[in-house]
Each structure stands twice: as C-alpha cells, then as structure tokens.
Amino acid sequence: MRAITIVTALALIAMVAGLAYQRGASDCRAQYQARELAQIERANQLDRARIASERARATLARTLEEKAHADPVAVPRCLGPQRLRRLNHLR
C-alpha cells in the first residue's frame, strides 16, 4: 500500500513537472513572439517615418526646382535679358 502511494505521488509530481515545463515553454515562446512583434512594429514605424521624410524631401526638391525654372520676375531696375546678352557679347 505504501509503495503504491509513493508511486502515485511520484507520478503526480512527474505529471505536474511536465505540465509546468510545457507551460514555461509556451510562456517563453509567447514572450519571444511578443518581442519579435514589437521589433517588427518598430521597424515598420521607422520605415513609415523614412518614407514620409523622403516624400517631404522630394516635394521640397520639386518645389525648389519649379521655383528655379519659373519665369523671372520683371523688375524695372534690373537689366533685361537682351541687355545682358549685348553686354556679354561686348566682352
């Protein structure tokens, strides 16, 4: 009778240890997956920020390019294009 109780107790301890091991392993996997998902989300945030800054840079570059090639502002005190060509031709 006493041997059966000891065997039963050992079987119960082994079963509890096995369940605890499985629970610990699943918790470890869940923590690892949560860390991986957090890193993926952070990488996605950085990518979105990079894309937004690239769009802003491209927009600024396009705006500056358009301003650089826009029609010049006519100011009466400035020399006209024909006058400049004549002056450059005299050199």
What does each of the 91 residues of the chain score in pLDDT, given as a tens digit? 777 888 898 999 999 999 999 999 999 999 999 999 999 999 999 999 999 999 999 999 999 888 877 766 666 666 677 777 777 777 6
CB 42 within 8 A of CB 35: no
Q: Read off the tokens for 23.
A: 């629970």
35, 36, 37, 38: CA torsion to nearest 10: 50
Report the first-to-last Cα separation within the chain, whole angstroms: 122
Total structural domains in the chain?
A: 1
Residue 53, domain extent: 2-90
